[in-house]
Structure 1
Amino acid sequence: MPSERARRGAAVETAAQAYLRQAGLSPISRNARYRGGELDLIMRDGETTVFVEVRYRASAGFGGGAASVDLRKRRKLVLAAQLFLAAHPDLAERPCRFDVIDASGDPPQLHWLRDAFRLEDC
């Protein structure tokens, strides 16, 4: 049985995916696991492939979820995205970006950070 934390994380990811769908993005994949990292959501925004990291914190007192996407985490996400694109060559030639959904509070309030970081930031 999944832990309470795992259930909460899955619920927040589901809410984030619904939020992004309402904003016009289409789902490609969810919880794609690769060496060194996991891609929470992979969405399409027009021709752009969007890798979305969903971060939940009960309180924003320590900087919230977005602040936890540090350099080490960004590098893991980039590596996982590269492996995903290698496995999906039809998407590899399209533009891509990295977004973060920062969720905090109970019930979680979602804050979408488009283009939260770039490859050159890693």
Structure 2
Amino acid sequence: MVNPPPFHYPDIGDVGEGLVAQWLQSTGWLILHRRFLCRWGEIDIIAQSHDSPTPNSTLAFVEVKTRSPGNWDMGGRSAITAKKQTKLWRTAEIFLAQHPDKADYPCRFDVAIVYCQKIRKNFHELTSHSQVLASSVVAGYQFQLQDYIPAAFDSVNDNA
């Protein structure tokens, strides 16, 4: 049988980001932006703590890594290099310049690790060695938010 056209496969990055956005909302965060793009790069999710929309709220710039189990880069953790951190930091600066009302908010850079696996006929559940924070099934694939790392890295200086 011929493989179905690519449009039958989900965009796993988009699905992983959607899962993380839903989880953030369920834990009290307001999603301000998804896939914020500028000349420096892209931030997957920008969220604000939902405590109150005041300067006491926190902004989280979230990098989502969606991977299959057993991948080469530790579930995406090793893909957050110093160069990537610098791009995220500069992109966040552009966002804050475009939204001066949020410029005084405390900010942090979070990383979310999502595992994705195609569901087979004898598939029961994605193998997991830790507690799953959220999960969903989309187009025959199981997605699990395995880890959410608040303040995964600090701001990066311009020499990085």
Q: After TM superposition, give the deviation of residue 104 of structure 1 in Å.
A: 1.6
The corresponding residue for 1:93 is 104
Q: After TM superposition, give the deviation of residue 61 of structure 1 in Å.
A: 3.8
Structure 2 residue 60 is the aligned partner of structure 1 residue 50:
yes
Higher helix share: 1
Q: After TM superposition, give the deviation of residue 60 of structure 1 in Å.
A: 4.0
Q: After TM superposition, give the deviation of residue 94 of structure 1 in Å.
A: 0.9
Distance in 2, Cα, partners of 1:4 & 1:101: 25
The corresponding residue for 1:108 is 143
Distance in 2, Cα, partners of 1:112 & 1:67: 15
The corresponding residue for 1:80 is 91
Deviations 1:64-117 (A, max 9, x none): 112211111111000000011001000011111000111123222211111111
SS in 1 for 2:102: helix
The corresponding residue for 1:28 is 32
> Alignment length, in residue pairs?
121
SS in 2 for 1:65: helix
Structure 1 contact 40–54 (Cα < 8 Å) conserved:
yes
Q: After TM superposition, give the deviation of residue 36 of structure 1 in Å.
A: 1.9
What's the TM-score, normalizing by structure 2? 0.69
Unaligned segments of structure 1, at least 5 residues = none
SS in 1 for 2:75: coil
Unaligned segments of structure 2, at least 5 residues = 1-5, 52-56, 118-141
User: What CA RMSD, in Å, does the superposition of the two structures yield over aligned residues?
Assistant: 2.0
SS in 2 for 1:73: helix
Distance in 2, Cα, partners of 1:60 & 1:80: 30
Identity within the alignment, %:
33
SS in 1 for 2:19: helix
Alpha-carbon spacing, 1:3–1:78, altered in 2? closer, same or farther (3 Å): farther
Structure 1 contact 66–101 (Cα < 8 Å) conserved:
no
Structure 1 contact 97–118 (Cα < 8 Å) conserved:
yes
Q: After TM superposition, give the deviation of residue 59 of structure 1 in Å.
A: 2.1
Q: Which amino acid aligns with 1:91?
A: K
Structure 2 residue 42 is the aligned partner of structure 1 residue 38:
yes
What's the TM-score, normalizing by structure 1? 0.89
Structure 2 residue 15 is the aligned partner of structure 1 residue 14:
no
